[in-house]
Amino acid sequence: MNPAVPTPPESEQHERTYRHGTALVLFDLDGTLADTAPDLVNAINACLEARGQAPRPLAELRPWVSHGARGLIERTFGIGPGAQEYEPLREEFVRRYEADLCRLTTLFPGVEDMLARIEAASIQWGIVTNKIARLTDPLVQKLRLDGRAACIVSGDTAARAKPDPAPITLALEQCGCAPHSGAYVGDDRRDIQAGRAAGVRTFAAAYGYSVGIDDISQWQADHIIQSPVDLLRWVLPGAGA
């Protein structure tokens, strides 16, 4: 962009997105495309049981899954990255999860139909997640999404992870898409922060995880969707949004 030309206000950029259509839809992975909570909770519970502690119910830990290993460890063990025992525990959790990362994980209901209809409209789609590539790549393969996604950006692919816009910006560059033609869908406040900072249209997934512990209406997403298929009315040409 010519530096002499001022950047349009966010509202104007988002209106331009709608007017010219969507060329690329980017998705968070955990809690947006895939219901990974059962396998992640099993892994953290295995860490608890190895230390003689009782496992936690899935319903209790499910809202924390979108916060990754750090969120689950903080919730169950009450320690964060500053604690001496945190890093060994995080590595143990990752190893346990990696060993069985798609036993119970499935795509959310409606995701397959949504993706098929996006593809039928010749719209690119991709994945931008804070999950490290060591876990993202095999999971996406097991879910049979790897041959379909136009890009896969993991938490350690870009220089910084969400809520920094860098991963979304990288995905846009990889797919040759301008921000005003892109959209990002996620179930966590950080997803919306990253999307807005990257200049794409943002969609908060109310069917995901973080809504159990955070007020989705305060995330400042452009739209809130109640199901994966609900997204289609906003991104498909002539769908009536």
pLDDT in tens, 165-192: 999 999 999 999 999 999 999 999 999 9
Integer Cα distance of 217 and 163 in angstroms: 18
Closest residue by Cα to residue 68 from 148, 187, 166, 177: 187
pLDDT of residue 128: 99
pLDDT of residue 8: 37
Q: Strand 152-153 to strand 182-186: parallel, antiparallel, or no bridges (unpaired)?
A: unpaired
Domain edges within the chain = 10-35+106-235, 37-99
pLDDT higher than 70, residue 148: yes
pLDDT higher than 70, residue 241: no
The answer to whether 78 touches 221, Cβ cutoff 8 Å, is no
Catalytic residues: 28
- What the block records as the tokens of 27 is 């998705």
Confidence of residue 239 (pLDDT cuts 50, 70, 90): low
Question: pTM score, two decimals?
Answer: 0.90
Burial of residue 218 (CB within 10 Å: 0-12, 13-18, 19+) is exposed
Integer Cα distance of 32 and 55 in angstroms: 25
Work out the average pLDDT over 153-159: 97
- What the block records as the tokens of 108 is 């959310």
Work out the average pLDDT over 181-208: 98
74, containing H or E segment: helix 68-77
Work out the average pLDDT over 92-120: 98
Confidence of residue 20 (pLDDT cuts 50, 70, 90): low
Residue type, 134: R
pLDDT of residue 4: 38
The answer to whether 17 touches 9, Cβ cutoff 8 Å, is no
Tell the residue number behind the tokens 């379909």, with chain if given. Answer: 148
Integer Cα distance of 85 and 77 in angstroms: 10
- What the block records as the tokens of 29 is 């992975």
Q: Which residue has the higher pLDDT, 32 or 9?
A: 32
Lowest mean pLDDT among 6-10, 37-41, 194-198, 202-206: 6-10
Integer Cα distance of 50 and 66 in angstroms: 24
Report the CATH number of the 10-35+106-235 domain: 3.40.50.1000
- What the block records as the tokens of 131 is 């999950």
Closest residue by Cα to residue 131 from 155, 106, 166, 98: 155
pLDDT higher than 80, residue 227: yes
Q: Give me the chain's average pLDDT, please.
A: 92
